[in-house]
Amino acid sequence: MKTDKKEEKSQSAEDVCPKCGSVLGEIIETKSGKKLQRCSTSSWNAETRSNEGCDYVKWLKVEPTTLEEKCPKCGSPLLLTTTRFGKKMKKCSTATWDPKTKTAGGCDYIEWLKGTTEALDEDCPKCGAKLVLFTTVAGKKLKKCSTNQWDPVNKVATGCDFVEWQ
């Protein structure tokens, strides 16, 4: 019974805003897949892109989800993981990280997820080439010129620079 009361106290302390003492609001998931919990006295203003009221935001860790796919190296299930910067990747469920020795263990299979590109029947207003619709892993969409490429050696964009976010 004593442990239950301690757990209730720790949970209630985590559900209270440390800045103003109000109760924290509901858990919200962003477009990029991150989860957060705001103070109940604040609200998000989409026009000004800022919090109104208490500005406390508690970011929650996103747990990896197990996929039905198997690792091509060892046959274990794959996990869909989101990095702290919002990038998504598939990795082997046997992969481990030891923070003390800063070494990786287990299977080292990783596949970074990238967006999808589909051809459109529209012409670029700048150069006349065909446009493509690019959808990011987070679900954001943009129309861009099909001649637009990235040169990894020189680290510059090449081709037409037309981009239109949807």
Distance CA 77, CA 74 (A): 9
Amino acid in the structure at residue 146: S
pLDDT digits (tens, 9 = 90+) for 57-104: 888 887 888 999 999 999 999 999 888 777 889 999 998 888 898 888
pLDDT of residue 2: 44
Pick out the chain residues at pLDDT < 50.
1-11
pLDDT of residue 9: 40
pLDDT of residue 87: 81
Amino acid in the structure at residue 54: C
pLDDT of residue 13: 55
pLDDT of residue 25: 87
Domain parsing of the chain, residue ranges: 17-60, 65-112, 116-165
pLDDT of residue 12: 52
Bridge partners (DSSP) of residue 105 are 96
Q: Which helix (H) or strand (E) holds 8?
A: helix 2-14
